[in-house]
């Protein structure tokens, strides 16, 4: 089924040139859904040696999250631990269906609105009609996993890029 969806999308866009690309500039982070945020932070910091860089509650997304990375690591080396705030959270539903583990792959983009528009024109489905607030003031959107081989893809425009556009 995934091959059929991908073939459909590629057939619709085989004519597309570079202007039809979403402007991915790198890997932003890997998101892990966790049932117990404190235990996951302990595992990643005390056992694996990562450093907690940022902690945030995002009520719009229904999550509490912690961003971690190795000491001295550059961009794209982050792990985001995401826990549900309540039973209405998408993370709560994900954990109920799949259990803890890989939730999403996040790509950094120059302009999340443009990236979203490009992907919509190419036939991919997005979770939101317009970008939403993400971690540390970023703007985000998600590409439906049915269009990406089963992987939920997040598009992230950093707060620095967002502020530079105003």
Q: Tell me whether residue 87 is one of the annotated catalytic residues.
A: no
CA dihedral 82, 88, 93, 94 (to 10 degrees): -20
Taking the C-alpha atoms of residue 78 and residue 51, their distance in angstroms, rounded to an integer, is 10
| Tokens representing residue 48 in the block | 């694996």
From 5, 80, 92, 103, active-site residue: 80
From 5, 64, 154, 157, active-site residue: 154
From 5, 29, 44, 78, active-site residue: 29
From 44, 92, 104, 157, active-site residue: 104
Q: Tell me whether residue 104 is one of the annotated catalytic residues.
A: yes
Q: Tell me whether residue 165 is one of the annotated catalytic residues.
A: no
From 5, 65, 92, 103, active-site residue: 65
In sequence order, what DSSP letters do the residues of 57-71 get, joined into one string? Answer: EETTTTEEEEEEE-T
| Tokens representing residue 117 in the block | 């528009």
- Specify the pairing of strand 51-58 against strand 24-33: unpaired
Name 90's Cβ contacts closer than 8 Å, sequence gap at least 6.
61, 62, 63, 84
The catalytic site residues sit at: 29, 65, 80, 104, 154
């Amino acid at each position: 089924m995934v091959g059929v969806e991908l073939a459909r999308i590629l057939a619709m866009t085989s004519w597309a040139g570079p202007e039809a690309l979403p402007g991915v500039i790198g890997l932003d982070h890997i998101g892990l859904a966790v049932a117990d945020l404190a235990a996951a932070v302990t595992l990643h910091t005390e056992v694996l040696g990562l450093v907690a860089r940022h902690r945030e509650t995002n009520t719009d997304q229904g999550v509490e999250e912690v961003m971690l990375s190795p000491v001295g690591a550059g961009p794209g080396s982050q792990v985001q631990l995401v826990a549900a705030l309540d039973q209405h959270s998408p993370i709560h539903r994900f954990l109920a269906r799949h259990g803890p583990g890989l939730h999403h792959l996040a790509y950094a983009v120059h302009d999340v609105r443009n990236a979203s528009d490009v992907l919509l024109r190419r036939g991919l489905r997005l979770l939101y009609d317009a970008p939403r607030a993400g971690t540390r003031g970023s703007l985000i959107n998600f590409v439906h996993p049915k269009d990406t081989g089963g992987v939920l893809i997040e598009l992230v425009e950093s707060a620095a890029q967002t502020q530079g556009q105003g």
